[in-house]
C-alpha cells in the first residue's frame, strides 16, 4: 500500500480533497521525481489503489508496480535561490540510484558512458610523459 507522510495526509484531508493522483515525471539529477495532483481525469490508463486515507489514491498503470509498496514524504526546503519549495522524497526497495538532495531517483544504476578512444589517448599521453 502506498504510504504518505502524516502531514501531507492531514493537509489533503483538511482541504477536503476527494482524490489524489501520484505519478512520476522525468526530472532531476537521477532522472525521475514524484508529483501529486488533485485535478485530473480518470481514464483507462489510471488505477485506483487501496487507501487508508479519507481520499482516493490513483496512479498511472505504468507506475503502479513501483508505487504500490512505496513511501512518500513531503519536505519544504529552500533551493539554491533561497526560495522554499515543496519536494517529495520517494522511498522504495526498487530505487537503485538517488541524487544528493534525495528528491530524484532511478530504478536502475546509471551506466557510465566511456569513450574508449579518449581513454586510449589518455593512457598513451601518460605513458609518454616522464615523471
Ranges assigned E (strand) in 9-82: 19-26, 32-37, 46-49, 56-60, 71-78
Give the CATH number, domain containing residue 87: 2.60.300.12
Asked whether residue 77 carries a pLDDT value surpassing 90, the answer given is: no
Is residue 65 helix, strand or coil? helix
98 or 57: which leads in pLDDT:
57
- Residue 82 confidence (pLDDT) above 90: no
More confident residue, 58 or 122: 58
pLDDT in the model for residue 103:
82
Over residues 17-56, the pLDDT tens digits come to 999 999 999 998 888 999 999 999 999 999 999 999 999 9
Residue 5's closest CA among 75, 65, 59? Answer: 75
pLDDT at 131: 53
Q: What value, to the nearest 5°, has the Cα angle with vertex 6 and ends 74 and 47?
A: 75
| Distance (Å, whole) CA 49 – CA 52 | 10
Domain count, the chain: 1
pLDDT of residue 130: 58
Using DSSP, state whether 29 is helix, strand or coil: coil
Please identify which residue in the block is written with the cell numbers 546509471.
110
Q: Are 75 and 89 in contact (CB under 8 A)?
A: yes
Tell me the whole-structure pTM to 2 decimals.
Answer: 0.76
The pairing of beta strand 19-26 with beta strand 32-37 = antiparallel
Q: With bands split at pLDDT 50, 70 and 90, how would you rate the model's confidence at 104? A: confident
Residue 123 pLDDT > 90: no
- Note down the domain range covering 78: 3-128
**Separation in Å, CA 108 to CA 13, 123, 124:** 34, 30, 33
Amino acid at each position: 500500500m502506498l504510504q504518505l507522510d502524516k502531514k501531507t495526509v492531514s493537509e489533503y484531508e483538511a482541504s477536503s480533497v476527494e482524490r489524489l493522483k501520484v505519478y512520476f515525471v522525468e526530472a532531476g539529477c537521477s532522472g525521475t521525481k514524484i508529483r501529486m495532483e488533485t485535478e485530473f481525469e480518470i481514464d483507462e490508463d489510471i488505477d485506483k489503489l487501496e487507501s487508508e486515507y479519507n481520499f482516493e489514491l490513483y496512479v498511472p498503470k505504468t507506475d503502479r508496480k513501483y508505487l504500490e509498496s512505496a513511501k512518500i514524504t513531503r519536505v519544504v526546503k529552500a533551493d539554491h535561490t533561497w526560495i522554499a519549495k515543496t519536494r517529495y522524497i520517494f522511498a522504495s526497495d526498487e530505487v537503485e540510484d538517488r541524487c544528493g538532495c534525495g528528491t530524484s531517483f532511478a530504478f536502475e544504476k546509471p551506466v557510465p558512458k566511456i569513450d574508449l578512444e579518449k581513454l586510449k589517448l589518455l593512457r598513451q599521453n601518460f605513458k609518454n610523459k616522464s615523471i
